[in-house]
Each structure stands twice: as C-alpha cells, then as structure tokens.
Chains A and B, each alone.
Chain A
Amino acid sequence: MATQQTRTLGRVLIAPAVGLLFVWMIVPLAMTIYFSTRNYNLLEPGQDTFAGWDNFYYFLTDPSFIASLENTLVLVGSVLVITIVLGVLVALLMNLPIWGRNFVRLMVIAPFFVMPTVSALVWKNLLMHPVSGLFAWIMTSVGLQPIDWFANYPMLAVILIVAWQWLPFATLILLTALQSLDEEQKEAAEMDGAGAVSTFFYITLPHLARPITVVILIETIFLLTVFAEIFVTTGGGPGLQTTNIAFLIYSEALIQYDVGGASAGGLVAVVIANILAFFLVRIVGRNLEA
C-alpha cells in the first residue's frame, strides 16, 4: 500500500513519460490543426494564407476522398473477416493434439514478423507476377489463365497481402483464449448431451467473443493506417483503386505538397481513429479493474 513518501516519488517518476507523450501528441496535433486552416503548399511557400474551412471542404468533397474512404472500409473489413474467420479455424486446429506443435506454431506465426515491405514485394513479385510468379504457374498447370493481380484486382491483392500478415496475430490471440477455456466446461456440456458442433456454438464461441472483439478493435486501429504495402506495390493505383485514407494523405503531403489539404485529411483520420479508440479503451479499462 502506498504511503505518503511513495506517492510523491510516484508522481515524479511518471512525469517524463507523461510529459513526453503529451508533447508528442499535442505539438504535432496542434500544428496539424493550424496547417489545416491554411493554404500552405510546399511548392509555393510564400503563399501561406488563411483558408478557414476551405481545406476541409475540398478534402471531404474531393471524389478521391470518397474513393479512399471506400477503399479503406473495404480493406479493413475484408482483412478483418478473413483473419478472424481463418484465425478461429486455425486456432481450433492448433488446439487439437498435434505432434510437433511447436514447429507448426513457428510456421503459423512467422508472417507477422516479416517486415511489411518484404512481405509486399515477395507477394507481388515471386507469387503474384502474371508471368513468372508461382500463382501464375499454378493457374496454367490446371489449364486456367494466370491472373494479373495488380492490374485487374489490385485491391484484392493488397487485401491478401495484409491478411496474410495479420492472420498470425488473430490466430495467436484466439489460440491463447482457447487454451484458457476451462476443460471442465466442455466436459459438463458433454454430460449434458452436447455434440462437437453444439459445444462450439454454445460454449467455445461465446468464450471467444471477448478476444474476437479485442482482435477486431486492435486490427482496425492498425489496418486503418496500412501504408507500406500500398507504397511498395501499387503506389495507390491504378488510379485510385488502392488508395486508402492514409495513402491519400501521404500523397497530398509529400507528392502534391499540399500541406493544408493533407493536414485537413490527417485530422479526419484522427477523428475516425478516436471513435474506435473510445471503444477499445472501454474494453481495456474494464479489464484493468479485474
């Protein structure tokens, strides 16, 4: 229990962390807000005038924003569905008695530890290349035409890459949760006459509800800002087909040099993220009590 002396010491020790994070948050955020109200373009530095709500207006009404918003939702939604559904299945599989489980774990976990730029380029070139990629060879071997992923299905390609990277995360978390499921609960269900499928839907799945929620929230927060994979494979294209909000803002800032517009966009992204953060914080907060 803390007595008076430990309490003051405590405050001193927290100060650097809190202070630094505060500065890290506030200063850039304040600047972003400031820039978002100005007509600041890096190519015309002298022309920095007040723009009021203009940047927001242009950003939100720009068709590229709508397109990027759609892409973001599609990307995040698809990856969530794929990783969670597959994650549950793989976790269930790995929870069974397996010989050499540790090695299987290694294989399943590996993609998460590969840096995004490597993943993206390996998928784009070695696997998805329409002529010499492995997928192309598989397709032709069964008599089908190889798919030119990045020309015809660029979004799907990006989704596949990102889902591959995040599957281990979902699997690991769901497997951890599965292993915490009390064996006795399943035995009680069996005594009550439940078969494998019933046990899954009535016992296992509800137990997984909480971790699945955590996975959804955490993945969403990180998936909203997918950047590297798009950067090295499609550069947002063809056209705007693989541009998500993050990439859109990046291109406005560092390709078109429209600081004002990019700042406005950045704030929009922050607002969206905050809404999601609110829910995650609530869940984690509840866990903190326990």
Chain B
Amino acid sequence: MARKVTTRQAAVSTVGAWVVGFIIFFPILWMILTSFKTELDAFATPPKFLFFHWTMENYGIVQERSDYFLHAMNSIITAVGSTLIAMLIAIPAAWSMAFAPSKRTKDILLWMLSTKMMPPVGVLVPIYLIYRDSQLLDTRVGLIIVLGLGNLPIVVWMLFTYFKEIPKDILEAARMDGASIGKELIYVLTPMAVPGIASTLLLNIILAWNEAFWTLNLTTSAAAPLTTFIASYSSPEGLFWAKLSAASTMAIAPILILGWFSQKQLVRGLTFGAVK
C-alpha cells in the first residue's frame, strides 16, 4: 500500500485475523493439550483448559501397547518410497514435455490430469482382488505401488510447471557454450530445477502420508501406516481420548512442520498449475 495504514486499522485487522486463526486452529490445539492429560482429566466436565496435571504418560503408553513405532515406520516408508518412485518416473517425463514438446504433449498432460480425477472407489474392487490374489494385501510394497501411481499425475504436473519456468535461453546459452545434452542437464538444468524438485517431493510426501482410502482398505496390521492405526481408535474400549490425542499428535506433528514449508507448492500442485 502506498498510503499509510493507521495503526488503529492494523490493530483491528490483526486482532480479527488472530481470532479467526485461533478458532480454525483450535481443534488441533485442543487435541495437543488433551494428549498431556490423564484419561480422567481428558473426559472431565467441565473441560480443563490449562490447569490440570500435565503428564507424558500417554505418549509412553501408546508407544508400548500399540507399537506406534512400527506404524510410524510404515508411514515413512510408504510415503517417502512411493514419492521417490513417482519422482524417478516423472522427472524424465516432465523434462521431455517441458523441453522437447511435441504436438501430443498438451494432450498427454491433460490425460494424466484426468487419471487423477478418477474416484479411487471406482477401482476398489479390482485392485483389492488383484492385491488379494498376489499377496500384496497388507504389504508396504503394495501400498507404495498404489500411492506412487496415484500421485504420479500430480508429480508429473508439478515438475512440468517448474521445468517450464526455467528460461529456455539459459539452456541455449549452455549449448552455445559447448555443452552436450548430458552436461547441459548436469551443470545447468538440474541446479536450476532443484528447488522445484524439492517442492514437489515435499508436497507429495505429505499427500501420501495423509492418504486415507487405499491405506484404510489395503492394510490391516503389518503394513498399516498411521492413518489406519489411528482409525483403529474409532471403536476402542474404555477411556481412550488422551491416548488418541497423544497418538494423533505424534502422527501429525512431522506433517504440520513439513506442511508449513510447502504452502506455495500446495497451491500449485493441487490446482495443477491453474493457480500460481
């Protein structure tokens, strides 16, 4: 703004924004607080806001009893694994479409977009049956395949938009400077593409971590990632809120942190570049 904003105006908007932000964030905050309560306190009415006996016992219990660590490892392996595999396939494809486009390129991109729009439930039956018959149910490999292929369109699209932003004449300058295609890739293209690749990696790990259709339907225990693990709290016995909160806090903490860094990529990735 070229004109001065009065401090009073800024104060009003600041208060307003913080209130709204706080309200939106509140459920998460409440959950984190609850994770530090005893089960009795968690269930108490009226609810205790800050003055209760703070304890770490829930975190300990969740670790021991339900093998939280195993499920966290599953989440990490499937989220990172599926994203890496998708990147391996997508980087050459996106490179080719950005730098050596043909008449078909636009059609291919839009077709890939359309595959992402297919509702997973539409192919639940065959995938489930194929997995059952090939012993892929409840395996990490099985999940990696499904999540990798599911996110592949988004990965290709995001990389494509990032690659397209690399100015063509810098690559031509490299060619004039005597670089072969390989050297052009190594010395010029890749360094310039690294931020885009990192962003894509980040966003897709988050999407894979939070995926809650295939993970719920294709895993039960051995390969169950955190999504499935938390889902098992939906019909438990006895008091469980504090434990649920502890497990949930641990489940979402890494992603909240990563998510903070990937806001811009979120906009680009999920709108397929339609909004930048």
Asked if A pairs with B, the answer is yes
Give A residues with C-beta under 8 Å from B. Answer: 2, 5-7, 9-14, 16-18, 20-21, 24-25, 27-29, 31-32, 35, 90, 93-94, 96-101, 103-127, 131-132, 134, 136-137, 141, 164, 167-169, 172-173, 176-177, 183, 187, 211, 214, 218, 221, 224-225, 227-228, 231-233, 245-246, 249-250, 253-254, 259, 262-263, 266-267, 269-270, 273-274, 276-277, 280-281, 283-285, 287-288
13 residue pairs of the A-B complex, CB under 8 angstroms, read: A13-B93, A20-B89, A25-B115, A28-B123, A97-B1, A97-B13, A117-B231, A121-B231, A122-B245, A169-B270, A218-B271, A277-B113, A285-B110
Tell whether, in the assembled complex, residue B27 and residue A164 are in contact, meaning their CB atoms are under 8 Å apart. Answer: yes
User: Which of B46, B153, B251 contacts A115 (CB under 8 A)?
Assistant: B251
Tell whether, in the assembled complex, residue A173 and residue B216 are in contact, meaning their CB atoms are under 8 Å apart. Answer: no
Chain B nearest CB, measured from A278 CB (Å) = 8
Contacts of A167 in B (CB 8 A): 24
Tell whether, in the assembled complex, residue B275 and residue A109 are in contact, meaning their CB atoms are under 8 Å apart. Answer: no
Contacts of A117 in B (CB 8 A): 212, 216, 227-228, 230-231, 234
With A and B bound together, what is the CA distance between A273 and B120 in angstroms?
11
Tell whether, in the assembled complex, residue A115 and residue B125 are in contact, meaning their CB atoms are under 8 Å apart. Answer: no
Chain B nearest CB, measured from A269 CB (Å) = 5
Chain A nearest CB, measured from B124 CB (Å) = 6
With A and B bound together, what is the CA distance between A120 and B120 in angstroms?
20
- 14 additional contacts (CB under 8 A) given A10-B96, A127-B30, A169-B270: A7-B100, A7-B102, A21-B149, A97-B14, A106-B260, A113-B210, A113-B252, A113-B256, A118-B252, A122-B27, A126-B34, A137-B47, A253-B124, A266-B124
Tell whether, in the assembled complex, residue B27 and residue A111 are in contact, meaning their CB atoms are under 8 Å apart. Answer: yes
With A and B bound together, what is the CA distance between A129 and B18 in angstroms?
27
Tell whether, in the assembled complex, residue A131 and residue B45 are in contact, meaning their CB atoms are under 8 Å apart. Answer: yes
Contacts of A136 in B (CB 8 A): 45
Interface size on B, residues (CB 8 A): 99
Indicate if B16 sits at the interface (CB-CB under 8 A).
yes
Chain B nearest CB, measured from A44 CB (Å) = 15
Give B residues with C-beta under 8 Å from A. Answer: 1-2, 5, 9-10, 13-14, 16-18, 20-22, 24-25, 27-28, 30-31, 34, 42-47, 89-90, 92-93, 95-97, 99-102, 106, 108-110, 112-115, 117-130, 149, 152-153, 156, 181, 206, 209-210, 212-213, 216-217, 226-228, 230-231, 233-234, 241, 244-245, 248, 251-252, 255-256, 258-260, 263, 266-267, 270-276
Chain B nearest CB, measured from A110 CB (Å) = 6
With A and B bound together, what is the CA distance between A99 and B96 in angstroms?
44
User: Which of B25, B95, B109, B127 contacts A110 (CB under 8 A)?
Assistant: B25
Contacts of A254 in B (CB 8 A): 124, 128, 217
User: Which of B92, B117, B128, B212 contacts A274 (CB under 8 A)?
Assistant: B117
Closest A-chain residue to B123, C-beta based? A28
Tell whether, in the assembled complex, residue B44 and residue A132 are in contact, meaning their CB atoms are under 8 Å apart. Answer: yes
Interface centre among B102, B127, B210, B273 (most CB of A within 10 A): B210
**Known pairs A97-B5, A107-B24, A273-B119; A281 contacts B110 (CB<8 A):** yes
Contacts of A11 in B (CB 8 A): 96, 102
Tell whether, in the assembled complex, residue A104 and residue B13 are in contact, meaning their CB atoms are under 8 Å apart. Answer: no
Tell whether, in the assembled complex, residue B101 and residue A2 are in contact, meaning their CB atoms are under 8 Å apart. Answer: yes
With A and B bound together, what is the CA distance between A97 and B270 in angstroms?
27
With A and B bound together, what is the CA distance between A218 and B93 in angstroms?
24
**Known pairs A110-B28, A114-B256; A132 contacts B93 (CB<8 A):** no
**Known pairs A125-B241, A126-B245, A284-B273; A114 contacts B96 (CB<8 A):** no
Chain A nearest CB, measured from B80 CB (Å) = 16
**Known pairs A93-B17, A110-B256, A164-B27; A225 contacts B125 (CB<8 A):** no
With A and B bound together, what is the CA distance between A7 and B37 in angstroms?
63
With A and B bound together, what is the CA distance between A7 and B45 in angstroms?
69
With A and B bound together, what is the CA distance between A227 and B119 in angstroms?
11
Tell whether, in the assembled complex, residue B227 and residue A111 are in contact, meaning their CB atoms are under 8 Å apart. Answer: no
User: Which of B17, B18, B27, B89 contacts A126 (CB under 8 A)?
Assistant: B27
Contacts of B259 in A (CB 8 A): 109-110, 112-113
Contacts of B128 in A (CB 8 A): 253-254
Chain A nearest CB, measured from B58 CB (Å) = 13
User: Which of B92, B130, B210, B217 contacts A250 (CB under 8 A)?
Assistant: B217
